[in-house]
Each structure stands twice: as C-alpha cells, then as structure tokens.
C-alpha cells in the first residue's frame, strides 16, 4: 500500500506521522516540516502485510492531533 496523508496546517509547523499495525506495533514514523495547508506526504507500506493500520499525526510537543484507519488490501 502506497498512499498520501495530509493534515491542515495554517502555517509552517513540524509534524510526526506514525503508522501502527493492528497489534499496536510501530511500522512507520516520519517527522516532516509542513509549510502549506494540506501538504501531502507519501507513505509507503508496500512491504508490510495486508490488514488494518492506524495513521496518526502528532504536533511538535508530541500531542496526537489526528488519527485515521487505513486498510491495506
């Protein structure tokens, strides 16, 4: 599974995107500077098993500000 994640940012901020599998294991983590509203970030899970994953976005203080489920088939 290759997909894009986007989060609204009113100004330049640093966010961390994480993906965990259905067992809670961290399978992806990337910290990125977001400078545009709804700037897209590509997430590549092609080498991971099919299943349900949770994508979460954290601000620079570590507070989770958004999360969503993704199904890789």
The token pair that represents 28 in the structure block? 């992806």
The confidence band for 63, taking pLDDT boundaries of 50, 70 and 90, is: very high
Distance CA 64, CA 60 (A): 10
Three-state secondary structure string covering the chain: CEEEEECCCCCCEEEEEEEECCCCCEEEEEEEEECCCCCEEEEECCCCCCEEEEEEEECCCCCEEEEEEEEEC
Strand 13-20 to 26-34 pairing: antiparallel
Q: What is the pLDDT of residues 5-48, one digit of tens each?
A: 888 887 778 999 999 999 999 999 999 888 888 888 899 999 99
């Amino acid at each position: 599974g290759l997909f894009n994640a986007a989060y609204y940012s009113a100004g330049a901020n640093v966010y961390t995107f994480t993906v965990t599998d259905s067992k809670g294991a961290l399978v992806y983590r990337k910290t990125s500077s977001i400078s545009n509203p709804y700037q897209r970030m590509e997430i590549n899970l092609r080498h991971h098993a099919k299943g349900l994953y949770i994508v979460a976005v954290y601000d620079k203080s570590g507070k989770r500000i958004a999360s969503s489920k993704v199904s890789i088939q």
